[in-house]
Amino acid sequence: MGFFNKLVSGLTKTRDNLVNQIKSVLSGKKISEELFEELEEILIVADVGVASTMEIMDNVRERCKTEKAKDGEDVEKILKEEIRDLLGDKEELVPPNTKPWVIMVVGVNGVGKTTTIGKLAAKFSNEGKKVVLAAGDTFRAAAAEQLEIWAKRADAQLISQKEGSDPAAVAYDAIQAAKSRKADVLIIDTAGRLHTKSNLMDELKKMYRVVNREMPDAPHDVLLVIDATTGQNGLSQAKVFKEATEVNGIALTKLDGTAKGGIVVAIKSELGIPVKLIGVGEGIDDLQTFDPDQFIDALFGE
């Protein structure tokens, strides 16, 4: 099955929760303020976010007037275009001019951080890149072992220390190793910290500083992994991580298991952080670059 078909299949719950309800509400009804309010409620329930929903619906109301929308089909077309516009341009992970390309991966426990790192490593290895992984999650039992399994599977090298070590020391070692081994990519795992624990966030800031000290333009990417099933909670996580580490991209996992796929819109619109990767399954190829056009087509059906 191609990725687009997996995406169509993976978005089934979101489609039921969002698009099918929109279509149902618009079917055979006259355009009215009551109709717009019903659409607002559907968007908010699907985790598009209150601020994003208000912005979308203000534009929809205005365009329905100026474009003289006649029926539900016209409204749906305008609504679809407004949601697409909020998602912005497709933004990929792009390697810098210097090597190694340092990617720091952050997020709370259980979001699929290690799996995301493993899949990224496999992707880069398949492209012929030399990959080093850093086991910076030294707090969680078996985190390094889990990463080691992925390193073997992805034909990547692993830098780790014993459990309980200073994560910043692991980051330091990894930068030195990646430089000396002339690696193309270094991916640094970090402890799956609760975004509400300030001491753990301080540890993350320290790792970030060490990486930046040893390689002044690094990390080139700070990728925040969010579990799509958490909906609006993912938004509050992103706000805190953005303050600590200058997050510049989101990897949104488990889109296939949620009715809250609208969170994609809220993240981009309310935080200004692009979703760069999405996951719609357990397979090694199920993590792909997020393409807004493809997402909207899979969601609304073409």
Domain shared by 140 and 279, yes or no: yes
Sign of the torsion angle spanned by Cα atoms 155, 161, 165, 169: negative
pLDDT in tens, 228-274: 888 788 888 888 888 888 899 999 998 887 777 888 888 888 888 99
Rounded to whole angstroms, the Cα distance separating 50 from 73 reads: 24
Domain shared by 156 and 201, yes or no: yes
Q: How much of the chain exceeds pLDDT 70, in percent?
A: 97
Rounded to whole angstroms, the Cα distance separating 198 from 92 reads: 31
Of 87, 109, 138, at which residue does a domain stop? 87
Is residue 93 one of the residues assigned to a domain? no
Q: What is the DSSP string of 173-208?
A: HHHHHHHHTT-SEEEEE-----TT-HHHHHHHHHHH
Query: Cβ(12)–Cβ(298) under 8 Å?
Result: no
- Backbone Cα Rg of the chain: 21
CATH number at residue 35: 1.20.120.140
Domain shared by 198 and 269, yes or no: yes
pLDDT in tens, 20-71: 999 999 988 889 999 999 999 999 988 898 999 999 999 999 999 999 999 9
Is residue 253 one of the residues assigned to a domain? yes
pLDDT in tens, 179-202: 999 999 999 999 876 655 667 788
Query: Cβ(154)–Cβ(125) under 8 Å?
Result: yes
Containing domain of residue 67, as a range?
A: 3-87
Domain shared by 223 and 79, yes or no: no
Domain shared by 107 and 215, yes or no: yes
The amino acid occupying position 103 is: I
Is residue 95 one of the residues assigned to a domain? no
Domain shared by 145 and 271, yes or no: yes
Domain shared by 75 and 205, yes or no: no
The amino acid occupying position 97 is: N
Cis, peptide link before residue 274, omega less than 30° from 0: no
What is the domain count for the chain? 2
